[in-house]
Structure 1
């Protein structure tokens, strides 16, 4: 029943059920407007959730630097040439221990 006749409305007003009938119609309309829930996507073949893709592996750990590399880096830092950029203009000088 989607529409009420004039007699139906008069009868519902007399017995006090008009408000409930109108609320039912509103609820039915809201229910019809809600979009259907989408179907879940089919899983990809060979896919394992939470795992690395097939044919791959996690990255290898970074190898430890040799001890003499740490010593050389410390010497470059103390000499002020830790970046490895040395100026070729001749006008720039590296600060010495006395200048520091």
Structure 2
């Protein structure tokens, strides 16, 4: 039983001159303080040979992924886009765009 109904509260107040109700409330305060002051759980032990740091000793972060397009390729594609090219009459030659088909616009 975790919830008190108004009838339960009234019955505790009637029994033993309200002593049961006072004991119940005091126990609720004690339980709340015990939950509040419980020590935090101990952290798990470190694995054998553990050394603090982001990467294990003798290693480094991975290299950034290689790009297959040079800066000039990007600039050419940007100029191509800005000039409104890349339509069916002048397909893009970047290698990433789908091939143009005739008769679509």
TM-score by length of 2: 0.36
TM-score by length of 1: 0.37
